[in-house]
Amino acid sequence: MVKKASLEKLFAALKHQGKTMFAPLLKNGKVLYDITDNFSEIASDYIQTTQSAKAVVFPRTEKLFNYTKEKEGVTIKDFDPQSVPETVLWGVRPCDAAGFAPLSAIFNWDYKDNLFNTRLKNTTVIGFSCNKADEYCFCTSVGGNPGSAAGSDILFTKLGDTEDYLAEIITEKGQAVVAIAPELFEPANDVEKEKYLANVPVKFNREEISKKLAAFFESDLWAEQSMRCLGCGACAYVCPTCACFDIQDESHGKNGTRVRCWDSCGLSMFTLHTSGHNPREVQSQRWRQRLLHKFSYMPDRLSVYGCTGCGCCSRACPVDMNILEHLISIQEIKK
């Protein structure tokens, strides 16, 4: 158990240890993770952040290595794991923390991605359970819940209108945080945590949807659902599990940098071949890819679903493409 006032002290203690502190900050009416030294800057009243926290472990633009062309051959200055700072992600919602598992599965599928793994290893996740939810939330339909500790190193749950927070220490990293300021933590008496959590009703059965989707590849459904989709990457870029990227070289004369940049299956160029052929030439095929990847291909290949029910994509979509609505309508198809 910790008192509300102790949270600020804990934040300061972590900061004092030299950790890079990422927390949700309010900017232009949106809640975005950014580096801050100032606890009072942290947004408090938010259902979910606009963007997921994934950028901390999988930055939108990431330097893979530098290169210099020389008379004979090329010199490469590779990624240095030492350059990754010890980071604390503060204020992560359970549905966002749940994204680290599918991300890890993708980045360790066959090749073990040193950049991602180093960043994740150096990141401590301080989760905060949800006391409230909105109509976009559906964590309980995809294996999560508003008080789930999965993915967090410590999970705080606000106990109603009191000044008390239940602190669940989940991992060794969590214990290390407690060890920095043990005086801030006190033993919890019997606390009925569930009583304080948001009510998020189950809306569909994901296993059932997964099974159904495999047979829907050629359905008219995709065109019907995606006609209004504009084909931007907003849904993928706010998503806690979307991990597609594009490799680019930024060269300046003989020197250059190879960078990894976020990419999205919703963008028309994503699958464009050099020949000019595009196997996903219309938006409906791209929308189908998005749902099938999350609910069919990922569970098949990686034994993990690619959706945590955070609702970030639906809130961010400029044209009200609502993943929950579309999943429910798939569930309702009789077959």
Partner 1 sequence: MDELRNRAKELLESNTVQLIIGYEQGNGNKTRAVFIEKPDHVSKLIFDSRCIQNLAVYLTKAEVKKKGKPAIVAPVPVLRSIIQLAAENQLTNSSLVVLGITPDSKLIEFKKLEEIENFLEQFKIEIEARDKEILEKLDQMTPEERWKFWIDELSPCFKCYACRAACPLCYCTRCTVDDNQPQWVPVASHQLGNLEWHIMRAMHLAGRCTDCGACADACPIAIPLNLLTKKMMEDMKGYFGGYKPSLKSGNLMSTFKPDDKETFIH
- Min dist. Cβ of residue 272 to partner 1 (A): 9
CA dihedral 307, 103, 229, 49 (to 10 degrees): 80
Phi then psi for 257, rounded to 5 degrees?
Answer: -130, 135
- Min dist. Cβ of residue 253 to partner 1 (A): 14
Identify which range of 122-130, 199-207, 245-253, 302-310 contacts partner 1 by CB under 8 A: 245-253
Token pair 């819940």: residue: 145
User: Cα separation of 205 and 199, whole Å?
Assistant: 17
User: Cα separation of 64 and 248, whole Å?
Assistant: 10
Q: Does 60 bind partner 1 (CB under 8 A)?
A: yes
- Min dist. Cβ of residue 149 to partner 1 (A): 28
Which one among 269, 300, 301, 333 touches partner 1, defined by CB under 8 A? 269
Token pair 């209108």: residue: 161
User: Cα separation of 171 and 169, whole Å?
Assistant: 6
Q: Does 50 bind partner 1 (CB under 8 A)?
A: yes
| Contact by Cβ (8 Å): 22, 35 | yes
- Min dist. Cβ of residue 165 to partner 1 (A): 29
State which residue, 171 or 248, has the beta carbon closest to partner 1. Answer: 248
Identify which range of 37-45, 81-89, 197-205, 313-321 contacts partner 1 by CB under 8 A: 313-321
Q: Does 61 bind partner 1 (CB under 8 A)?
A: yes
Q: Does 27 bind partner 1 (CB under 8 A)?
A: yes
- From residue 181 to residue 210, the character string flagging contacts with partner 1 as x (rule: CB under 8 A) and all else as - is ------------------------------
User: Cα separation of 129 and 195, whole Å?
Assistant: 12
Which one among 283, 289, 296, 308 touches partner 1, defined by CB under 8 A? 283
Q: What part of residues 316-335 is at the interface with partner 1 (CB under 8 A)?
A: 316-320, 322, 325
Look up residue 158 and give its DSSP letter.
E
Which one among 41, 78, 186, 250 touches partner 1, defined by CB under 8 A? 250
State which residue, 143 or 233, has the beta carbon closest to partner 1. Answer: 233
Which one among 125, 137, 139, 238 touches partner 1, defined by CB under 8 A? 238
Half-sphere exposure of 60 (CA within 13 A, CB side): 11
Alpha helices by DSSP H, 108-171:
114-121
- Min dist. Cβ of residue 287 to partner 1 (A): 11
- From residue 207 to residue 226, the character string flagging contacts with partner 1 as x (rule: CB under 8 A) and all else as - is ----------------x---
From the centroid of its chain, how far is CA 143?
A: 15
User: Cα separation of 47 and 188, whole Å?
Assistant: 26
SS3 (DSSP) at 263 = coil
Which one among 47, 244, 259, 328 touches partner 1, defined by CB under 8 A? 259
Q: Does 67 bind partner 1 (CB under 8 A)?
A: no
From the centroid of its chain, how far is CA 218?
A: 30
Which residue type sits at 27?
Answer: K
Q: Does 264 bind partner 1 (CB under 8 A)?
A: yes
- Min dist. Cβ of residue 279 to partner 1 (A): 16
Which residue type sits at 213?
Answer: L
Q: What part of residues 88-127 is at the interface with partner 1 (CB under 8 A)?
A: none
Neighbours of 334 (CB within 10 A): 3
| Contact by Cβ (8 Å): 158, 46 | no
User: Cα separation of 49 and 248, whole Å?
Assistant: 29
Question: Which residues sit at the interface with partner 1, rule CB under 8 A?
Answer: 27-30, 32, 34, 50-51, 55, 60-61, 135-136, 223, 227-228, 230-234, 236-238, 246, 248, 250, 259, 261-262, 264, 267-269, 282-284, 314, 316-320, 322, 325
